[in-house]
């Protein structure tokens, strides 16, 4: 067979490597900033653009899509070419992919800072950027599959199955979760409502972890770990079994994010069972990775690359054990809404994704630049600082989670909550938040040491943009030889067929959970007294979304005595039917607000209290870490949009009367003037069109509908009926 000459595209790999490094610094920096904000609210700088609620999505998205995302593309594009003995399918696609992805990141940073957000965690991007993301993602898939099709080897190595699953999985998740109705270029409402929206969102959220933070990294592990150790993967058989069970099982486990909340029992049972089953394939992967190093542990001692990989794979094993444990109901009682989840995600993020990325950077960058790493010693220093910082991060937060949980559920002998004031429990854990800042600074320091080391390395070498190579052309595979070929082998000989099977495996899991939620109306019983939001309340709700209040406040009360005593009656599924999007939140840095408008409940505060609190929370409670929102008193609600919003809601099935959009602004002003008058009684002057008024109206709507006999004067007016 005659050899064909071809060239590897190293330039694209180099660009993605650089982007990984640069965005990584930004992502960690913003992380340190929000860690500071949680310990010392002064770090919100009193500016709307830099408040925690807007910076937190910036941090999570920068870590996931900018830092980890670029690392995935660099790692995939390099190994794909080497494994398949082929140049990337198209230079043009590679270029569009790279620049398109960076454009998305910049747009994300700008829009989040401006408060343009859908409020769905890790999917906060508004619809035009969602569409751009879809396009760029398809280009990535096209480029990858094109490369596979023109490969020069018969067998598609294990790493590449994971890359393909990543492409298909993320595509499916992103599209399903992003169905939204635009009302302007920068605002949309999801077509799902309430509990349904929650299930779709956490099916996405959970599987984003699976298909963006796990499957691509397992692929990278199957290539870079054996390469760096210079010995083959421990068991190829295990890699096959590991692959199919993992992608099949992952999709089912989404609802474990919503345990004990207002969700059907069977959805919860489903989530829990599959979460537990997930341990098996996850550990299969970890064992396969670690056993690859058997007999090579002496190499690990000297090599920073291998050390990072070992910590990463171990952390992967720990997190995938911890995760299923956290989905057990009685454990979840504690871990949900507390810092436990935050610790969990950071072990996975800093150690697994971070460790794999750092190891890969130290291994790959010198190769691309055809030189040696500038300093192995600095790389080892980075390793130790990073590893230590992960411990300094996780241990205090586990401590904080347990402490706060114990305090929240403690009762006096007389049967009252021992700490009825939520703030007391928060004050107790604030020292842990200071430790977290230290951890963040350590991690950042290690990162910067790496940046220095890598830039020195780059300066010493040069990239061969098109690296020459040769290999014989691929002989076309014949028909399936049924007896001596595994199904897996047969399927993956044909990329397209293989992709379809992966898609089917993914689809079964996703569909089983979502189809019933969407089509079976009886799943969500209606409550007669629950009315749609008035225009003013709707505007207030949109401000809540914009400011990211959901990053600190939940709006769903679980059926435990210590929650219902503190926050009010537990949440019912039917209360959320008009919520586009749902706003249940995932972390209670502040108290739950689901019953903030329940007049005779424990959470109710009057308008003047809310006004003063938003103007300066620290003046009301010195220990509060809530940012101030004094611009609420200055900024106007955009009344031009109000009728559009009502019409959009009608399209989504919210039962406003016919033609209500025309009266929406009048209705809004009428209700706003009531609040203005109320505030005046407390000596507060404010115009009715300010965001403050809308926000107060929204706060007073929360949970009010199911309160018996509080015939508030607004009720009859609610929908103009």
Tell me: does residue 624 bind ligand HEC (CB under 6 A). yes
Query: Which of the stretches 3-11, 301-309, 440-448, 549-557 binds ligand HEC when contact is defined by CB under 6 A?
Result: 549-557
In whole angstroms, what is the distance from residue 349 CA to residue 329 CA?
24
DSSP state of 448: H
Residue 156's SS3 state is coil
Binder to another protein among 179, 266, 384, 416 (CB under 8 A)? Answer: 266
In whole angstroms, what is the distance from residue 572 CA to residue 559 CA?
10
Q: By C-alpha distance, which of 153, 21, 145, 25 is closest to 83?
A: 153
Residue 713's SS3 state is coil
3-state SS of 19-64 is HHHHHHHHHHHHHHHHHHHHHCHHHHCCCHHHCHHHHHHHHHHHHH
Q: By C-alpha distance, which of 145, 132, 148, 147 is closest to 96?
A: 132
Bond prior to 581 in cis (omega within 30° of 0): yes
CA-derived radius of gyration, the chain? 27
| Cβ partners under 8 Å of residue 110, min gap 6 | none
CB of residue 510 vs ligand HEC: minimum separation in angstroms? Answer: 32
Selection from ligand HEC, another protein, none that 690 binds (CB < 5 to 8 A by kind) is none
Binder to another protein among 73, 157, 161, 614 (CB under 8 A)? Answer: 157
Tell me: does residue 52 bind ligand HEC (CB under 6 A). yes
Tell me: does residue 426 bind ligand HEC (CB under 6 A). yes
Tell me: does residue 85 bind another protein (CB under 8 A). yes
Tell me: does residue 53 bind ligand HEC (CB under 6 A). yes
Q: By C-alpha distance, which of 144, 17, 142, 169 is closest to 81?
A: 144
Count of chain residues binding another protein (CB under 8 A): 51
CB of residue 424 vs ligand HEC: minimum separation in angstroms? Answer: 10
Selection from another protein, ligand HEC, none that 14 binds (CB < 5 to 8 A by kind) is none
CB of residue 255 vs another protein: minimum separation in angstroms? Answer: 12
Binder to ligand HEC among 553, 595, 645, 690 (CB under 6 A)? Answer: 553
Q: By C-alpha distance, which of 95, 101, 223 is closest to 157?
A: 223
Q: Is 683 exposed, middle or buried (0-12, 13-18, 19+ CB in 10 A)?
A: exposed
Q: By C-alpha distance, which of 17, 30, 132, 23 is closest to 77?
A: 17
In whole angstroms, what is the distance from residue 120 CA to residue 126 CA?
10
Exposed e or buried b per residue across 523-543, where buried means at least 16 C-beta atoms within 10 angstroms of its C-beta: bbeeeeeebbbbbbbbbbbbb
> Site map for another protein, 351-370, x if CB under 8 A?
----------------x--x
Tell me: does residue 699 bind ligand HEC (CB under 6 A). yes
Tell me: does residue 240 bind another protein (CB under 8 A). yes
CB of residue 518 vs ligand HEC: minimum separation in angstroms? Answer: 30
Tell me: does residue 103 bind another protein (CB under 8 A). no
CB of residue 82 vs another protein: minimum separation in angstroms? Answer: 5
Tell me: does residue 551 bind ligand HEC (CB under 6 A). yes
What torsion do the CA atoms of 195, 197, 199, 205 make, to the nearest 10 degrees? Answer: -140
CB of residue 301 vs another protein: minimum separation in angstroms? Answer: 19
> Site map for another protein, 458-477, x if CB under 8 A?
-----------x--------
The residues of the shown chain that bind another protein, judged by CB under 8 A, are 82-83, 85, 153, 155, 157-159, 223, 226-227, 230, 232-233, 235-237, 240-241, 244-245, 248-249, 252, 260, 262-266, 270, 367, 370, 469, 486-489, 508-509, 512, 515-516, 520, 522-523, 525, 559, 570, 572-573
The residues of the shown chain that bind ligand HEC, judged by CB under 6 A, are 52-53, 422-423, 426, 544, 547, 549, 551-553, 589-591, 593, 596, 603, 605, 617, 620-621, 624-627, 629, 695, 699
């Amino acid at each position: 067979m005659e050899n064909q000459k071809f060239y590897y595209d190293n330039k694209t790999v180099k660009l993605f490597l650089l982007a990984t490094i640069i965005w990584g610094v930004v992502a960690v920096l913003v992380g340190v900033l929000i860690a500071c904000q949680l310990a010392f609210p002064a770090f919100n700088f009193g500016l709307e653009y830099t408040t925690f609620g807007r910076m937190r999505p910036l941090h999570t998205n920068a870590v996931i899509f900018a830092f980890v995302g670029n690392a995935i593309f660099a790692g995939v594009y390099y190994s794909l070419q080497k494994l398949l003995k082929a140049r990337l399918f198209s230079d043009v696609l590679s270029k569009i992919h790279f620049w398109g992805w960076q454009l998305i990141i910049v747009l994300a940073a700008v829009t989040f800072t401006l408060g343009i957000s859908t409020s769905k965690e890790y999917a906060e991007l508004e619809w035009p950027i969602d569409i751009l993301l879809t396009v760029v993602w398809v280009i990535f898939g096209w480029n990858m599959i094109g490369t596979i099709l023109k490969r020069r080897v018969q067998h598609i190595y294990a790493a590449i199955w994971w890359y393909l699953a990543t492409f298909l999985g993320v595509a499916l998740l992103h599209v399903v979760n992003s169905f939204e109705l635009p009302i302007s270029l920068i605002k949309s409402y999801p077509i799902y409502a309430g509990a349904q929206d929650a299930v779709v969102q956490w099916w996405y959220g959970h599987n984003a972890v699976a298909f963006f933070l796990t499957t691509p990294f397992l692929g990278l592990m199957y290539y870079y770990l054996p390469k760096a150790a210079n010995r083959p993967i421990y068991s190829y058989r295990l890699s096959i079994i590991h692959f199919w069970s993992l992608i099949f099982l992952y999709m089912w486990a989404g609802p474990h994010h919503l345990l004990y909340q207002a969700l059907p029992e069977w959805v919860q049972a489903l989530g829990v069972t599959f979460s537990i089953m997930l341990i098996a394939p996850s550990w299969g992967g970890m064992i396969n990775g670690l056993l690859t190093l058997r007999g090579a542990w002496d190499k690990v001692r000297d090599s920073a690359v291998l050390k990072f990989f070992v910590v990463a794979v171990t952390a992967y094993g720990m997190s995938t054990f911890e995760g299923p444990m956290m989905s057990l109901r009685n454990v979840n009682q504690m871990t949900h809404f507390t810092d436990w989840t935050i610790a969990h995600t950071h072990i996975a993020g800093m150690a697994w994704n971070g460790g794999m990325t750092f190891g890969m950077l130290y291994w790959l960058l010198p190769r691309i630049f055809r030189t040696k790493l500038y300093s192995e010693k600095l790389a080892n220093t980075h390793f130790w600082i990073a590893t230590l910082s992960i411990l300094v991060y996780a241990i205090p937060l586990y401590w904080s989670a347990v402490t706060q949980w114990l305090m929240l559920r403690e009762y006096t002998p007389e049967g009252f909550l021992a700490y009825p004031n939520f703030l007391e429990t928060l004050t107790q854990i604030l020292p842990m938040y200071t430790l977290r800042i230290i951890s963040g600074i350590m991690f950042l320091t290690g990162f910067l040491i790496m940046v220095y080391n890598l830039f020195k390395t780059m300066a010493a070498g040069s990239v061969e943009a098109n690296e020459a190579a040769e290999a014989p052309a691929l002989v076309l595979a014949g028909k399936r030889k049924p007896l001596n070929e595994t199904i897996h082998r047969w399927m993956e000989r044909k990329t397209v067929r293989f992709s379809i099977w992966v898609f089917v495996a993914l689809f079964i899991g996703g569909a089983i959970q979502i189809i019933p939620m969407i089509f079976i109306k009886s799943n969500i019983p209606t409550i007669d007294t629950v009315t749609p939001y008035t225009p003013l309340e709707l505007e207030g709700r949109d401000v809540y979304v914009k400011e990211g209040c959901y990053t600190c406040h939940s709006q769903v009360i679980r059926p435990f005595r210590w929650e219902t005593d503190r926050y009010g009656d537990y949440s019912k599924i039917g209360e959320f039917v008009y919520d586009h999007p749902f706003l249940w939140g995932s972390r209670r840095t502040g108290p739950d607000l689901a019953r903030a408008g329940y007049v005779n409940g424990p959470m109710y505060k009057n308008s003047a209290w809310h006004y003063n609190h938003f103007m300066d929370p620290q003046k009301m409670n010195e220990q509060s870490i809530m940012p101030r929102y004094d611009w609420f008193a200055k900024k106007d609600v955009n009344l031009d949009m109000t009728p559009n919003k009502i019409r959009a809601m009608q399209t989504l099935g919210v039962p406003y009367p016919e033609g209500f959009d025309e009266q929406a602004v009048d209705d809004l002003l009428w209700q706003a003037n009531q609040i203005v008058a109320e505030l005046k009684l407390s000596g507060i002057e404010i115009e009715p069109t300010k965001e403050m008024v809308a926000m107060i109206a929204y706060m007073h709507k929360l949970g009010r509908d199911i309160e018996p006999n509080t015939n508030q004067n607004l009720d009859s007016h609610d929908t103009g009926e």
